[in-house]
Amino acid sequence: MQRKIIQVNLGAAGVLLTVLSYFVYYQWSGNSALVRTGWAQLPFGLASVLVWRLNARGHDVWARWAVFGLAVGGTLAAILAGLGSALGAQVYFLLFAVLTLAFFPLTQWRSALLLSTLNATLFFAFERWGWPAHPALFELPETTRQWLSSSLVAGCIAVAMALTAISEWAADLNEQRLLELAGTDVLTGLRNRRALLQSLAGEVALARRSQRPLCLAVLDLDHFKSINDQHGHAAGDQVLREFSALMRSELRAYDTCGRLGGEEFVVLMPDTDLAQALASIDRLRATLAHRPLAWIDESVELTVSAGVASLADTSDADGASLLRAADEALYQAKRDGRNRVRTAS
């Protein structure tokens, strides 16, 4: 749906730019037929800003109807006011007939079919029976009329190509955003379990090929259930968000942070040996222990336990064994009293 909204906004921009460009030229020409045409089209071009307003307020269905209503109305105004069918302006109806099918989602196929049929009918009607141009139009030199006719056709093709190209770009951009959302934990903004496991597999493969160190840490917030019990789940969610922000600020930019589930987090640390990883995670632990998190008018004291493992110290050089080793180290930290970091080795 976001792609359709972008298409409609671009269509409105196309209507506005086309109308304003021709308006300037028509007024400059001084020909009364073209001047009449420019003024007849101008309201439809200026009204295209309403399309953006409708989309911004969530009325995307009305925005789609509006953009085509303005496009069709502006073209009709140009033909009836001065151009007639002599210069081939009716070719735009054929463009609108095709674009309608692309701009409307499949759930609104009836509306798309209705508008497409209407535009196709207008095109063939003007092609078959025509409409007389304003007499002043023929005061223009033949070469000028031919240039205007060619520019109308060329403009139609250019608009179609531009909208298609930008629409494809918008589709790719939207697809990338969807992929990012699919791999993002909604509450914390960190990577979710699915994205973490994918990153882990990739980092392990890279570390094995390049013979570089790789460490992984699993962190678990201590006594997190008591926070939910004492302060409510909203406080628990806020604590998870603030801890996630702390991880991003304290750890390195190229470390990959993610939420494994519940109050359990994972940090992937490429190009890092076990001693460096242990020091980095212990700094994070100490920072959290000395920084109570704020919840409304209360302070929530929080600690974290962590387990760190190195790919070089695991029996099987794969992501599953690395995660398992770090998880075992985490439970050792819990058994030793919490608020500490333990290593798999």
Structure tokens that stand for 42 in this block? 């101008």
152 vs 36: which has the higher pLDDT: 36
Supply the pLDDT for residue 198: 87
Cβ atoms of residues 289 and 303 within 8 Å: yes
Active site residue 263: yes
Q: Which residues contact 42 (CB under 8 A, 6 or more apart)?
A: 19, 23
Q: What is the pLDDT of residue 197?
A: 87
Mean pLDDT of 149-163: 77
**Catalytic site residue from 139, 142, 263, 264:** 263
Query: pLDDT tens, 195-246?
Result: 888 888 889 988 888 889 999 999 999 988 888 878 778 888 888 898 999 9
pLDDT score of 163: 67
Q: What is the pLDDT of residue 316?
A: 67
Reported as a single tens digit per residue, the pLDDT across 175-196 is: 677 666 667 888 888 988 888 8
30 φ/ψ sector (left φ>0, alpha ψ -120 to 50, else beta): left
Q: Are 263 and 223 in contact (CB under 8 A)?
A: no
Confidence of residue 268 (pLDDT cuts 50, 70, 90): very high
H helices within 57-141, ranges in order? Answer: 60-78, 91-103, 109-128
Please state, rounded to an integer, the average pLDDT across all residues of the chain. 86
Percent of the chain with pLDDT over 90: 30
- Residue 272: pLDDT band with limits 50, 70, 90: very high
Q: What is the pLDDT of residue 341?
A: 95
